[in-house]
Amino acid sequence: MDVRTAETRLAGRLAGEGLRDAGEMAWATIWLEACGYGGCALMVEALADETRDLALTRDALGIDLQNVSCAYLAPAILHEVEANGRVFLRNVRHGLFLLPFAVRANIGLGCPVDPSFAVGGERHKNPYAEKLAQADAEGLEVGDAAWSLIGTA
């Protein structure tokens, strides 16, 4: 399946869930899939979550994400960092969803598989450009199980 078709189909499915950032979420999911990070499987997990939104409030330690999936919060987190600078995140779920947004915005990112890490600073290189170009040229192989669980089959 080509990248654009996958993004479009997934965006439609996510919009059907009433998610305000459906297009961005679909883009990030397919970006992760193209880079070999299993974005579709992570999205399946996120879609099972009851809590899908959180007011991002900084405190003395940073922002407590309260285990709300970054599949839903990533666009807002990156906007918050762009507006207010580096922040330490804690109680992070699905932190890999921050990676596509951080790379696109040239913002540094701590280890997104840890339950706590920092976001902010400047990134000087896109180490994923080659994988993304290959996915654009050759398409994606998305696992049927994850794709059907998302409901796009």
Split at pLDDT 50, 70, 90, the class of 21 is very high
- pLDDT value at position 145? 66
62-64 and 87-90 strand pairing: parallel
Domain that holds residue 33: 3-150
- Of 76, 79, 110, 80, whose CA–CA distance to 95 is shortest? 110
Average of per-residue pLDDT values in the chain? 88
**How far are the Cα atoms of 70, 85, 89 from residue 77, in angstroms, in the given order?**
8, 11, 9
What is the total count of domains within the chain? 1
107-109 and 116-122 strand pairing: antiparallel
Indicate the burial class of 83 (C-beta count within 10 angstroms; 0-12, 13-18, 19 or more). exposed
Query: Torsion over CA of 101, 75, 110 and 141, rounded to 10 degrees?
Result: -50
Provide the whole-model pTM.
0.84
Split at pLDDT 50, 70, 90, the class of 8 is very high
pLDDT of residue 46 exceeding 70, the answer is: yes
Neighbours of 122 (CB within 10 A): 8
